[in-house]
Chains A and B, each alone.
Chain A
Amino acid sequence: MNEVSVQIEDFDTGVETTRLRALSAHTGAIATFIGVVSENVGVISEGIGAVSDSNENSRIVSLYLEHYPGMTEKSIAAIVQQTQQRWPLLGVRVIHRIGELQRGEQIVFVGVSSRHRGAAFDACEFIMDYLKTRAPFWKKETTQNGVHWVDARASDCAAAKRWESNDSA
């Protein structure tokens, strides 16, 4: 199973993991990642040591997720395909929400099943690292102080890059 959804609606992690578990009698491991809208703003400022302002006014109230319909689905499908060429997987499920999301809501689900945990853990992390740097989604944050677009993080690029120098996985 390879299934990718880009949707406004929330998702049920129990249903998704049960589906992954039921895919094959060979399933020995399922790794999942769930992204959640936290109160911490995405990027405060550049430079080491920048610390989040704990003032309630600068905490996130909601997020708006914009995407590029068509290219989003294509780019996630390409990431999933790359993942499957790299690790022996039984199933991959990716769900990414769009639109208005409140603090505490789920944004993204990545679930991967395989015979052994190593492949499942690595593949799950690989998908998230690539999703964050390649899929055309943009977050806009609303705080008490106003509304602003989130800047891309250098640490996300570094996280995706490390897979390039580790081709033996």
Chain B
Amino acid sequence: MINVLFFARIREQLGVAQLTIERADSVAQLLEHLVAKNGDVWAEVLCAPNVIVAVNQEVAEHTSELHNGDEVAFFPPVTGG
């Protein structure tokens, strides 16, 4: 099971804060799965060039591997401080 989180503008655009996926071997595969299931709007939102992906709370890449129990988060560029 992979736990997937969405934050800020991305959460609002997708209308979802959190979901779980049975299995994905990489971030790219997770994205394919999410887009196949939810449609092209998800591709537009999640594959936009400035979207940051984190795996287990560390910034990662689309090529990053995933394992059972991982937490994956998608969020826009940060604007704190």
Binding site for B on A (CB under 8 A): 35, 42, 65-68, 70-71, 74-75, 96, 107-108, 128, 131-140, 149-153, 156
Contact = CB atoms under 8 A, between A and B. Distances in A.
B23 to A, nearest CB: 23
Interface stretch (B29-37, B39-47, B61-69, B73-81): B73-81
A138 B75 contact: yes
B20 to A, nearest CB: 17
Contacts of A153: 79
A42 to B, nearest CB: 7
Interface of A is mostly: mixed
A71 B54 contact: yes
Please provide the 6 A-B residue pairs with the shortest distance between their CB atoms, ordered closest to farther.
Answer: A137-B80, A152-B77, A138-B8, A132-B81, A71-B57, A150-B79
A151 B57 CA distance: 22
Interface residues of B, number: 16
A114 B54 CA distance: 34
Interface of B: 5, 7-9, 50, 54, 57-58, 73, 75-81
Contacts of B54: 68, 71, 136
Contacts of A71: 54, 57-58, 73
16 contacts: A68-B7, A70-B57, A74-B57, A75-B57, A108-B81, A131-B80, A132-B78, A133-B78, A135-B81, A136-B78, A138-B9, A138-B79, A139-B79, A140-B8, A152-B50, A152-B78
A132 B58 CA distance: 16
B9 A135 contact: no
B33 to A, nearest CB: 22
B78 A65 contact: no
B57 A135 contact: no
Most chain A Cβ neighbours within 10 Å, of B57, B76, B78, B80: B80
A131 B57 CA distance: 16
Contacts of B50: 152
